[in-house]
Amino acid sequence: MNNDQGFQSARWGGLAFAFGNVLFVVNKLNEMSRLFLGRWMPDMISGQNLGLILLGQVALILGYAAYYQFYSQRVGQPGKYALRLLSGGGIVLAIGHVSFMSALAPYIPLAIVPHIEYLFLLVIIGLLLLLSGLIWFGILNLRQPMVSRWQWLPLATGLMGFIGFIIFSGEEITAIFLVFRTLFAFGLIGLGLSLWLEKPALSVPNAEIAGNLKIG
């Protein structure tokens, strides 16, 4: 794959990432309507929507892979470590969510059923890796910008996720949890759009030509 093809695939991965996180927002519209508007509405995405959920999780996996593919070429070793945590954690989280879809229950081997609850560890581990990588990458990005737009967004998104899922998460869904969950989701949508809007980095010869034109 040449550089142009890799760049284009990363951009489309950013769009897929944004789409997957739009579904992440839509998944809790019924709870937001109940808590913020006092109105009941049907669940837009339930565990029975096998195709839609799989589509969303595949879009997220492609997006996390594209995010690493693109930005790992712009960072030093610490940035690569942060991106591996971010992208790897996000992929593990997406796989963990798929394992809890009720529509998959008929296809799970009976020998695995008693141990299925342990797959929730994938969600916990994936979330912790994702948030730690996102916050770390966000700090590095503020010190030396690697994202062309909205340099504050990776760190802000990581912090929203940490506050929502670590501090205010519980057995019951609360309004404050939904606020930070929604801000986290919109931050991830923004990260996908920023990847979609990225421009290819100038190669060394092109950079020298651009510099000479400015000097002239």
Model confidence pLDDT, tens digit, residues 136-152 = 999 999 999 999 889 99
pLDDT of residue 157: 97
pLDDT of residue 207: 39
Model confidence pLDDT, tens digit, residues 9-26 = 888 999 999 999 998 888
**Using CA atoms, how far apart are residues 164 and 184, in angstroms rounded to an integer?**
8
| pTM value surpassing 0.85 | no
Q: Which of 22, 12, 9 lies closest to 188 in space, CA to CA?
A: 22
Model confidence pLDDT, tens digit, residues 175-192 = 899 999 999 999 999 999
**Tokens describing residue 151:** 């340099």
